[in-house]
Structure 1
């Protein structure tokens, strides 16, 4: 397979992976839109219509949904953006962190393809980088000074001198430099493709969990921000309130302990007829001010007064 064919195959392979990642970005963006722009979001401001559990649940669900969808977007973006590897960066890892480089995924990837990437038995990235730079400097020296000497190639250690007045020397140096550049480009391309696949595998492994988190969070958010079922109270309505005797339930709802088992008159000022928001000052030991009364706490009946 020629280098051009290999580049086309690598480009097609990466584009297929990134096309799948773009679909994932679209799905995550739709989830975010449902969370941020959905009609349920406006209900968060109507705090008087919600219990503490619903209010707290809406915040937790919204946060979890945003984090889940945001994580999917971040992981997908890492697939869409080129990893940006360079020979200099790889050579730096080889020289500055030899222990890390010994088990680094990039080194293992290059070793698995060494027969196609390197003309030598051992693939020394730092040596290739220095050789590539030396050939570049030699090209400049030859054009400016008419003479240059280059250290040994990747295959042997003999120095080679090139002179501008020698026929064919410039072409030989340029071919040598082109070969080194092509080898460096193949190595970088191999690592870029491999890294893109690694990032895509991370996205695929995380997607079921993050996607489920985002979807369940939206469902929980819709439940938490939905007003309680029942006919809404749109105007102050006189009511008779029969409180339950469960003092623990009363305390949880924010009702004074003196209301246990008593019947008082009050005014429903919000919520629904099933779970209204009530105010009452009829009894000194059972005063409530805009408190939601769940069915387990009190039975509320509208009166004609």
Structure 2
């Protein structure tokens, strides 16, 4: 049997080389008649292959893309929070008298709360500004937690002072002087958090002497990992609809049917599949697509927007009910495709 097959092969290809030539011509013609589509090239990219000379870009997201897509500032939704010390079980509070004000620990009751709001360098921790000179403002929180102002030497304490607007800032939405901005870092299990003033490198908000007593002083002290510097941060209530609306919009928050949601579109990122709706949209790098996703409520988990000419002749919006593995489409696609995830 093997000899018979070999004889056939020998007669066809060795004695009739024209068949070889015709076979090669057929393959070349097929390549031109049925070219690999852009969709096929993208699929090749997803599975890490090279098809028809298409060199895929790395599928891994860059650090900048990851930060945009999984924005860490979404960890704390704008709202009222309790800061509970894991050392004593008491909550951080602010007590003001006529000639004296201080941060202390006290029982965790409903009015011992602070607002957390986003800032481009971290967060501001705010309360309604009170006092004879503080007019009621239904749209703004003008009292900022402030670190060590007036402390030239010695232990730095905290106070609630009017939020400052830096000289180079263009509006109230940038409010927060350097000593009024904080970073919040998750540590250990729980989760637990350290709160670090941006203007004092290496310091944390601390319970003085790790005290477990009620009305213990709260100070700024060198971060040392002790329990007196670790807090449970619990959301009590989301921010009221009118409060700091322009600030939240500036930081990428979008007002949904029930609450504010954050979507930070990442350029050059695709999330193939998982669509429950797809429609033509406008050339705005996905801003309207993000708005549509948030306004669709809980059914929309994320979106992908593509520019005209990238995959279709018109800009397209895909709303996702299921999130798939995000893919980096490469530097050449940075302005042609954007994807975002709703941070609830």
TM-score, normalised by the number of residues in structure 1: 0.22
Higher relative contact order (CA 8 A, sep 6+): 1
Q: More helix by proportion, 1 or 2? A: 1
TM-score, normalised by the number of residues in structure 2: 0.20
